[in-house]
Chain A
Amino acid sequence: MPIIEISCVEVWREISNYVDGDIDPVLRERIAEHLKACEHCSAVVDGTRNVVRLMGDGRSFDLPSGFSERLRKRLAEKKLS
């Protein structure tokens, strides 16, 4: 069965679900086919994946320095530590 072509705008609309693998298989196939031929959309997909991967890494988002000490002190005032 031939795969129905999909436009760039339609691909962008689904990029988030696509990188999460949370998407209807037929639509996923159509997007994959589009990406083979479209460098722009491939770059957007790769970049979006990169964002998700970097943010999911525990090092991307730090507590302010001294946060735990200050929290502990505040809790200790109420005898919660």
Chain B
Amino acid sequence: MPSPAESVVEPDLIERVKAGESELFYLLIEPYQRAVYAVAFSVLGNEADAEDVAQESFLKAYAKLNQFRAECKFSTWLIQIAVNEARMRRRKERKALYESIDEGYVDDAGDYSPRDFADWREIPSEALAEKQLKDALSRAIASLKPIYREVFILRDVQGLNIRETADALGLNEPLVRTRLLRARLQMRDALAPGYDGTWFAGSPTYRKVRPF
């Protein structure tokens, strides 16, 4: 049987789901699984919670689909639901853990100075096929404070622009820019020592990337 999605465009799909063809809902949200998961992960910082919240977000989206208006992009609407769901989960967990309310959720004052001046311009995109690089990226992302991770993932993983990132997170644009800068510089610092162990001090590669 041919997939209905092949012949149906998104606005029609939305109308049909609203009109009662609920079984089409998966087809509607299928393209956004990665986006919704990434957003949940950006807020929560661990896979298990992020997956659970992503699933909840889709169920929430279905429950609220009648409120969706076409002036807004469907993807933006979904992302906002995911941000809200993830933040609610985060608040709940912080309460349960008696964590300091502020830890990880306040901006660091002052300028961020790069720690490492290694020049690692040679990491090619093909290296993304390697588990080592992906693991290094995951570790680096996980090491960011949540407020920086949220902005970084929406902007640099999801490719939202500054305005869209600000809207999705309920922040102003200057704050998004400041947090994005810090996130990117911290990511660079985290990855600068190399990701595959070949850049140990003294190796020719190391001297090549750290000419100073």
Bound form: Cα–Cα A11–B135 in Å: 30
Q: Which of B47, B153, B187 is the most central at the interface, judged by chain A CB atoms within 10 Å of its CB? A: B187
Query: Given A16-B184, A40-B117, A79-B23, do A22 and B128 touch, yes or no (CB 8 Å)?
Result: no
B contact residues around A71 at 8 Å (CB):
26, 33, 54-55, 58
Query: Given A39-B211, A53-B125, A62-B134, do A47 and B54 touch, yes or no (CB 8 Å)?
Result: no
**Residue A16 contacts which of B113, B120, B181, B211 (CB distance < 8 angstroms)?**
B181
Bound form: Cα–Cα A59–B137 in Å: 11
Residue of B at shortest CB range from A74?
Answer: B55
Bound form: Cα–Cα A49–B118 in Å: 14
B70 within 8 A of A: no
Interface residues in A38-70 by Cβ distance below 8 A to B read 39-40, 42-44, 46-57, 59-64, 67-68, 70
A15 within 8 A of B: yes
Residue of B at shortest CB range from A59?
Answer: B128
Q: Which of A40, A43, A47, A49 is the most central at the interface, judged by chain B CB atoms within 10 Å of its CB? A: A47
Give the A-binding residues of B (Cβ under 8 A): 22-23, 25-26, 30, 33-34, 37-38, 47, 51, 54-55, 58-59, 62, 111-114, 117-121, 123, 125, 128-129, 133-134, 137, 152-153, 156-157, 159, 162, 177, 180-181, 184-185, 187-188, 191-192, 211-212
Contact A44 B26 (CB under 8 A): no
Contact B120 A47 (CB under 8 A): yes
Contact B113 A75 (CB under 8 A): no
Contact A52 B55 (CB under 8 A): no
Bound form: Cα–Cα A72–B33 in Å: 11
Contact B119 A46 (CB under 8 A): yes
Beyond the given A46-B121, A55-B187, A56-B157, please list 8 additional residue pairs across the A-B interface where CB-CB is below 8 A.
A16-B184, A40-B114, A44-B117, A55-B152, A55-B157, A56-B156, A61-B157, A70-B55
A contact residues around B125 at 8 Å (CB):
53-54, 57, 59
Contact B184 A48 (CB under 8 A): yes
**Residue B119 contacts which of A42, A70, A76 (CB distance < 8 angstroms)?**
A42
B contact residues around A48 at 8 Å (CB):
184-185, 188
Query: Given A63-B37, A70-B51, do A12 and B123 touch, yes or no (CB 8 Å)?
Result: no
Bound form: Cα–Cα A40–B188 in Å: 13
**Residue A51 contacts which of B22, B153, B191 (CB distance < 8 angstroms)?**
B191
A36 within 8 A of B: no
Contact B134 A39 (CB under 8 A): no
A contact residues around B191 at 8 Å (CB):
47, 50-51
Contact B184 A52 (CB under 8 A): yes
Contact A81 B114 (CB under 8 A): no
Contact B181 A13 (CB under 8 A): yes
Residue of A at shortest CB range from B37?
Answer: A63
B contact residues around A46 at 8 Å (CB):
119-121
